[in-house]
Amino acid sequence: MSERSVPYDLTAERSVLGSILLERDAILVISDQLQPADFYLEKHAQIYTAMLACLAQRVPPDLATVASELRRQERLEIVGGLHVLGELVAEVPTAVHVEYYAQAISRAATLRRLIEAGGTISALGYNERGALETTLDQAEQTLFAVSQRQRGADFVPLSTVVQQFFDAAQADGDERVVPTGLLDLDRRLNGGLRPGQLALLAARPGLGKSGLAMSIAYHLGVRQQRSVGVVSLEMGRAELLQRLLAIHTGVDTRRVEGLTRRGDPAMLDALGVIAAAPIAIEDSAMLTVMDVRSKARRLATVRPLELLIVDYLQLLIGDTGTTSRVDEVSRISRQLKLLARELQCPILALSQLSREVEKRQSKVPQLSDLRDSGSLEQDADIVIFISREEHANEATPDGVADLHVAKQRNGPLGVVGVRFDAPTTRFANLETRRG
């Protein structure tokens, strides 16, 4: 029985290269989805690398410019000379199918990576000395890297980084920025949260951490139709839905269920609006940080996540091998930070504060008040505290709340005021309750 060969499609590879040489704008269609490493033949990868170099230099990648770039890189003869480029052009009658050919190359490349991942996972399975949870996580991460086509282990040339930075700076707006919907807070955060960031939202119990998190989820998921994942270890999915309905309708959370049961038209309309939002909820009460990583990865394969909310951090089960709760929470925060970078979306993790804040005359939280702090302050890119002086003074909890940006790696610190509506648990702009 003959040995099976790995998947590849040389016809598709030649057709893609020929299409680009024939129609120089063809590369604009596929440059985001096809990388040099996707090509099976090394000479094809080198030709495509030269084409991308032309594109980066704002030079149309035609026969003459690609040949010139290959000559500059001293690779023209390695790929077969100028006549090879001419053959690629002659083989393709039209560039209209370039995207189809690119997809064929990408599919074959993914299958090759899957075969490689299978070998890696097989080796993990034979290693009986490792902890089972760790082994499963490594295996899943290997598969996830294939599905997401991640290449985090590769070095990126500084020229590529410069080009990406320049393109982002020249764009009308950063589409990856995740706004909270609270205008003053977004201004303080230079537009909102960013991919790869771990943001901590902390307060003593009863001050509205979950309400603020769901207000942000509502703004992003319902109003902007952007993908949000919510990991809730404290509240069930029905309670979270009630809060979203209360935020949307302005109806007291205690009346939402009754109005829905009676078929209130406004509530039924709200249910339809909420149902269409790309918000996914995981409400298991007992989750490890590895469970969160696994579930978030699977959700991200369905639709790229733009925000992951964890409510709340201290309820996650950490590494059972740690010697103290501080070490456990430190490991959890570090794993969440790594997950934010892996998924390339911000994670908003809610956190409790220690009782020390209640013992001081000033009730304004400090970074040292983070409960089981350990490395929470170190791992977080942003730390936001909620304080409500009227609540501390035992007055009505409805009214104005202060959001203290106590840490921000790349921005200013400070305090912004927001409106808090206790019956609906909604946080809004000070200008209007419905802002």
**Across the chain, how many H-helices and E-strands are there?**
18, 9
C-beta pairs of 130-138 under 8 Å, 24+ apart in sequence: 131/321, 133/288, 133/290, 136/290, 137/290, 137/293, 137/294
Give the Cα separation of 59 and 88 in Å (integer). 20
Sorted by where each starts, the structural domains of the chain and their CATH numbers stand as 1-171 (1.10.860.10), 183-428 (3.40.50.300)
DSSP 328: H
Tokens of 319: 């590494």
H helices within 225-361, ranges in order?
Answer: 237-249, 253-261, 265-275, 289-302, 325-343, 356-359
DSSP 220: I
In a structure prediction context, what are the per-residue pLDDT tens digits for the chain, which is 435 residues long? 445 678 899 999 999 999 999 887 788 778 777 889 899 999 999 999 999 888 877 788 888 999 999 999 899 989 888 888 989 988 888 888 888 899 899 889 888 888 888 888 888 888 777 777 778 877 877 777 776 664 444 566 777 777 767 766 665 455 678 898 898 898 898 888 988 889 999 888 778 888 999 999 999 999 988 989 999 888 888 888 888 888 888 888 888 888 888 888 888 888 888 888 898 888 887 888 778 887 887 788 777 889 999 987 878 876 555 567 777 777 788 888 888 888 888 999 998 877 766 667 666 777 777 766 657 777 788 899 888 765 444 444 458 888 989 888 888 888 888 888 888 888 888 865 443
Give the Cα separation of 36 and 419 in Å (integer). 51
109, amino acid identity: A
* Local structure of 309: helix, strand or coil: strand
- Residue 150's pLDDT is 46
- Three-state helix/strand/coil letters over 114-166: HHHHHHHHHHHHHCCCCCHHHHHHHHHHHHHHHHCCCCCCCCCCHHHHHHHHH
Q: Cα–Cα distances in Å, from 174 out to 167, 303, 345?
A: 10, 19, 13
Tokens of 38: 């996707």
Give the Cα separation of 75 and 337 in Å (integer). 41
Give the Cα separation of 138 and 119 in Å (integer). 13
CB 349 within 8 A of CB 336: yes
Give the Cα separation of 378 and 366 in Å (integer). 14
Tokens of 15: 């057709």
- Residue 392's pLDDT is 47
Handedness of CA 15, 16, 17, 23 (dihedral sign): positive
Q: Determine what percent of the chain falls in helix, strand and coil, rounding each to the nearest 5.
A: 50, 15, 35
What b/e sequence results for 87-115 when a residue is b if at least 16 CB atoms lie within 10 Å of its CB, and e otherwise?
Answer: ebeeebeebebbbebbebbbebbeebbee
Tokens of 364: 């304004």
